[in-house]
Amino acid sequence: MFADPSKATAGPKPRGIDPAVFRQVGRLVMRVHKEEGIKLPTDAVLDEQADAYNALLARAEDPSDTDELMALLAWLEARLKKRLRAAAEEPGTGKRQA
């Protein structure tokens, strides 16, 4: 009548944030925005960092592999620069400059 909790299947364990990779992504976001002459408010920096980190995880074959994630930072940088430059060329369609 009552389910035995020890026999329940938990499903996939949620993946936590890799702090080292998250810091590197944050540094990358800040540097690229600075190079492009864009100053972001603190909340926007955190949003950009989270979006970039999620894009990195989505791109990786094995999102739990720190070495693979670090190797993909160059891809992430190119993607971010391309997006920022496209937004600057078409005002009103992307990030606005401060």
The string of pLDDT tens digits covering residues 18-40 is 999 999 999 999 999 999 999 99
Q: Does residue 50 surpass a pLDDT of 70?
A: yes
How many CB atoms neighbour CB 25 within 10 A? Answer: 26
Note if the pTM is more than 0.85: no
The predicted structure's pLDDT at residue 98: 46
Give how far Cα 93 sits from Cα of 14, 80, 84, Å. 34, 15, 11
Alpha helices, DSSP H, located in the chain: 19-35, 42-59, 66-71, 73-89
The predicted structure's pLDDT at residue 89: 87
The predicted structure's pLDDT at residue 92: 65
